[in-house]
A = this chain, B = another copy of it.
Amino acid sequence: MRIGVFDSGVGGLTVMRSLYKSSLFSEIIYFGDTARVPYGSKDKNTIIRYSLEAVEFFKNFNIELLVVACNSVSASAIPQMREEANFPIIGVVEAGVLALKNSLVKIDDNILVIGTKTTISSNIYQRLLGDLGFCNIEAIETGLFVPIVEEGIFKGKVLDATMEYYFQNLKRHPKYIILGCTHFPLIASAIEEYFTKQGQKPILIHSGDAIMEYLKNIYPNLREQDTQTKFFASENPNKLKEIAKQWLNL
């Protein structure tokens, strides 16, 4: 099975890694719109326009499924993309929510969702979690985590001060935290440590692992095989390939 992975930049490689490590696909084609990253602070209409361009791009590759790794795209553009595409499209948001549903979470457990401005203000996580009956949901914008990760900061004083800035006024201590942005798995241990210091250790939901679990459910016939990879970027493709080599251990 040949699949595509679309992200606004290199962050989606955290999702691609989960897919690649499964060895369940014949080929994975990654496209990162690195020339126009980040999407997280852009208008919904702009995100839709850019995402439709990505659909056109993937039409050249005869893929059987497109995974949208970017939460901002998942939250804003998937219905419009499906209208234009000749392949199925699934996004990390739905997958993350379903992963939570399949875990041992209880209806009144405290769930914290963190993401960019676009993702959180779209209310998509809040709505989907609400649809499943969860009632103690807090969702906050933590946009600064993206440039901090891109700066190569994964722990230390800058991150500590920024976590304090965002988390100090939370109403409830979270039992589950949905990492609603592809960059956030890279600071997962810092986030876990922050909350563990204040009480119970939270359970973090990672988009890549969540979507892989979901794919296993809806494609039960996938078998282990060698996985080919291709990487494309709207800017600096060599830098993307370099990061991919490190992260995916290619």
Which residues of A are interface residues toward B (Cβ below 8 A)?
Answer: 35-36, 41-43, 45-46, 143-144, 146-148, 150-151, 153, 156-158, 160-162, 164-165, 235-236
Contact = CB atoms under 8 A, between A and B. Distances in A.
Contact of A235 (B43, B150, B151): B43
Given A144-B144, A158-B165, A161-B162, 14 more contacts: A35-B43, A35-B46, A36-B36, A43-B235, A43-B236, A45-B235, A46-B235, A143-B147, A144-B147, A144-B148, A146-B147, A157-B165, A158-B161, A161-B161
Closest 10 A/B residue pairs (Cβ): A161-B161, A147-B147, A157-B161, A158-B161, A43-B235, A158-B165, A35-B46, A46-B235, A158-B162, A144-B147
Contacts of A164: 157
A97 to B, nearest CB: 27
| Copies of this chain in its oligomeric complex | 2
Nearest to A141: B151
Contacts of A148: 144
10 contacts: A43-B236, A46-B235, A144-B151, A144-B158, A156-B165, A157-B161, A157-B164, A157-B165, A158-B162, A160-B161
Contacts of A147: 143-144, 146-147
Nearest to A163: B158
A234 to B, nearest CB: 8
A151 B146 CA distance: 12
B161 A151 contact: no
Contacts of A41: 150
Nearest to A49: B35
Contacts of A143: 147, 151
Contacts of A150: 41
Contacts of A158: 144, 158, 161-162, 165
Contacts of A43: 35, 235-236
Nearest to A50: B35
A174 B153 CA distance: 26
